[in-house]
Amino acid sequence: MHLRTNVYRRVENVLQYGFIRRKSTGTVDTGRVYTYGRYLVGPDFKFKTFPADAHYIDLKGFMFILLAGIYFWFQIKLLKKDCNKIN
C-alpha cells in the first residue's frame, strides 16, 4: 500500500503574491515571496495570498466654500521586494 501526500501547493492567480503558512500552527513565513506557480512545500503548508496588482484610490468630494471641487486619485502597487515588510 502506497500512501501519497500532496506536497505541492500553488499560487493560483498571476495577479497574486503569497507567503507560506503552516496549517498546524498558523504561522506565516515572510522570508520569501512566492509568485504564480506550483511549489514543493510539504503537506503541512499552504499559501496565504494577497493581491499584487495596482489599486486606485479616489479622493473626490472635497468641496470648498467657493463651491470649487477637486478630484484627486492615485495608484498604489505593492512591490515584490517590499512584501516582507508587511506586518
> Which has more pLDDT, 70 or 1?
70
Region 12-16: mean pLDDT is: 83
Q: Has residue 63 got a pLDDT over 70?
A: no
pLDDT at residue 13, rounded to an integer:
80
Name the phi and psi angles at 82, rounded to 5.
-100, 0
pLDDT at residue 68, rounded to an integer:
62
> Which has more pLDDT, 84 or 25?
25
Q: Has residue 59 got a pLDDT over 80?
A: no
From residue 26, give the alpha-carbon distance in Å to each of 5, 19, 21, 23, 60: 20, 12, 6, 5, 39
Cβ neighbours of residue 55 under 8 Å, at least 6 residues apart? 75, 76, 77
Region 21-39: mean pLDDT is: 89
